[in-house]
Structure 1
Amino acid sequence: MPKSKPTSRGESAKPLELVWTANAKEDFAHWQRHDPRIAKKIDELVANALKHPFTGLGKPEPLKHELAGYWSRRISGEHRLTYRVEAGVLYIGKCRFHYTAKKKK
């Protein structure tokens, strides 16, 4: 069986597995209860990220500094979907509020 060949920007022809962190599950449950439109938007962003992790909807951008390795997509002006791709898995980190790096002292 031939192996998947990476495409541009590290995308793979092989589908990614999806894993939600506990924080992301809590965030998504909040949106399902309080604003189903945002929950639907998150569903769309996640579906797009599974197909195209580094391009597509929500203006994907790599995060820097302490969050290097994570990517962000815009849910709204205030909220972001943060995720990382590792070993064929798309890990959803958060989907509520804006990501924040730890402040240096």
Structure 2
Amino acid sequence: MNKLNIVFTADAWEEYLEWKKANRSMVKRIDKLISDTIRHPFSGLGKPEPLQHDLQGFWSKKINDEHRMVYAVTETAIQIIQLKYHYHK
């Protein structure tokens, strides 16, 4: 797999910016997860798991006990759709 681009949805980017203002250590954790996901989209840090039902085709990695990074992987990109809370659509 070639190096993947990172793409944020508008909502996920807004959540990232909120974390940046509120909690720098959380941003470091998110950045670490994103870097790891580029190398290991379906394994590695954050206990990755495939999602089901409305989010079938997406994956989740734990940021911490309360928050998840939800993302999809294509041939060229990792699309991040969520960086706060558990799964929402």
Normalised by the shorter chain, which TM-score bucket?
A: over 0.9
Higher RCO, 1 vs 2 (CA within 8 Å, ≥6 residues apart): 2
Aligned length: 89
The one of 16, 23, 32 aligned to 1:44:
32
TM-score by length of 2: 0.95
Q: Which runs of 5+ in 2 are unaligned?
A: none
CA distance in 2, matches of 1:52, 1:24: 20
**% of aligned pairs identical?**
40
CA distance in 2, matches of 1:97, 1:36: 17
Report deviation, 1:100. 3.1
CA distance in 1, matches of 2:75, 2:9: 16
Question: Does residue 20 in structure 1 map to residue 8 in structure 2?
Answer: yes
The one of 31, 40, 43 aligned to 2:19:
31
4+ runs deviating over 3 angstroms: none
Q: Secondary structure at the match of 1:81?
A: strand
CA distance in 1, matches of 2:5, 2:21: 26
CA distance in 1, matches of 2:44, 2:75: 21
TM-score by length of 1: 0.81
Question: Does residue 95 in structure 1 map to residue 83 in structure 2?
Answer: yes
Structure 1 vs Structure 2 CA RMSD: 1.0
Bigger Rg over Cα: 1
Report deviation, 1:88. 1.6
Q: Which runs of 5+ in 1 are unaligned?
A: 1-11
